Amino acid sequence: MLKLTGFIIGSIIGSFLGVCIHRIPRGESPVAPRSHCPKCGAQLGAAELIPIIGYVFIWGRCRHCRERVSVLYPILEVGCGLLSARVLGAEGFTLSAVNSLILISLAVVAAGIDFQHRIIPDIVTLPWMAVGLVIAAFSGGIQGVFSRALGIVGCGGLVFLIAIISRGGMGGGDVKFMALIGSFLGVPGGLTSFVIACVIGAIVGVILIVSGIKSRKDEIPFGPFISLGTIMVCVFGERLIPMVFPWLRF
């Protein structure tokens, strides 16, 4: 029952995140006006706004101009539904689950925008660090806030150094994104996310270059890999963090 509720909540969140990914880089508000067809401007009816079902209902096309609706929307809705079912199913409606769901949502938006536009807008990162600290205050008091503040400085600082040394490999958006992750996961969780991102990023990079899809000079956005690592830590953190940092005890 908790899992089903989690799936429904997650798919609704996923539907909203799809709108955020589309609108934020265009400078539009994600909440108003109501969702509409980007081609003909027709507003979506009530049934079409339902996650997943809405897409099936219109057979993936705008009812007015027959323009194709990206299949990424229902995939995102299903994906977020599954993640949310997993998190809420394992933890219930706890502060820790809320912490995970907010960070997963931000990671999804950052990945989507970075993949399409090669930027991670500040609105997705900076203000949310305060939210991470507030949640820490409720769950762990002063000590919680301190360990997350350390996460902001430690994770952001590490990527800042890498950005300077690599000169262009990583940008300011990645630095702020990692600082954000530190504010939600602290140093161990944040660094574990980053290590996973580097490993998967390197593997995917090699595959893309060897298969000839990308050349060595092409820049591959790193944000989506950071997001992937973060989501994995949010879902499997208890097992992943000790695997990456076996000497850490906390």
Could you list the residues that contact Zn ion (CB under 5 A)? 37, 39-40, 42, 62, 64-65, 67
Question: Which CB atom, from 35 or from 84, has the smaller least distance to Zn ion?
Answer: 35
Question: Which CB atom, from 40 or from 130, has the smaller least distance to Zn ion?
Answer: 40
CB within 8 A of 26, min separation 6: which ones?
none
Nearest approach, Cβ of residue 62 and Zn ion (Å): 3
Question: Residue 146 to residues 61, 102, 149, 181: CA-CA distances in angstroms?
Answer: 50, 20, 5, 15
Task: Count CB neighbours of 127 within 10 A.
Answer: 10
Question: Which CB atom, from 62 or from 101, has the smaller least distance to Zn ion?
Answer: 62
Nearest approach, Cβ of residue 38 and Zn ion (Å): 8
Nearest approach, Cβ of residue 55 and Zn ion (Å): 14
CB within 8 A of 202, min separation 6: which ones?
none
Nearest approach, Cβ of residue 50 and Zn ion (Å): 18
Question: Which CB atom, from 61 or from 118, has the smaller least distance to Zn ion?
Answer: 61
Question: Which CB atom, from 42 or from 58, has the smaller least distance to Zn ion?
Answer: 42
User: Token pair 């980053």 is at which residue?
Assistant: 194
Question: Which CB atom, from 73 or from 222, has the smaller least distance to Zn ion?
Answer: 73
12: left (phi over 0), alpha (psi -120 to 50) or beta: alpha
Nearest approach, Cβ of residue 97 and Zn ion (Å): 37
User: Token pair 């996961």 is at which residue?
Assistant: 185
Nearest partner of 102 among 184, 12, 193, judged by Cα: 184
Nearest approach, Cβ of residue 163 and Zn ion (Å): 41
Q: CA-CA distance, 117 to 113, in Å (whole number)?
A: 6
Question: Residue 62 to residues 49, 57, 102: CA-CA distances in angstroms?
Answer: 12, 11, 30
Do 73 and 50 contact (CB within 8 A), yes or no?
no
Q: How many CA atoms lie within 13 A of 78 on its CB side?
A: 10
Q: CA-CA distance, 221 to 201, in Å (whole number)?
A: 9
Nearest approach, Cβ of residue 69 and Zn ion (Å): 9
Question: Which CB atom, from 69 or from 228, has the smaller least distance to Zn ion?
Answer: 69
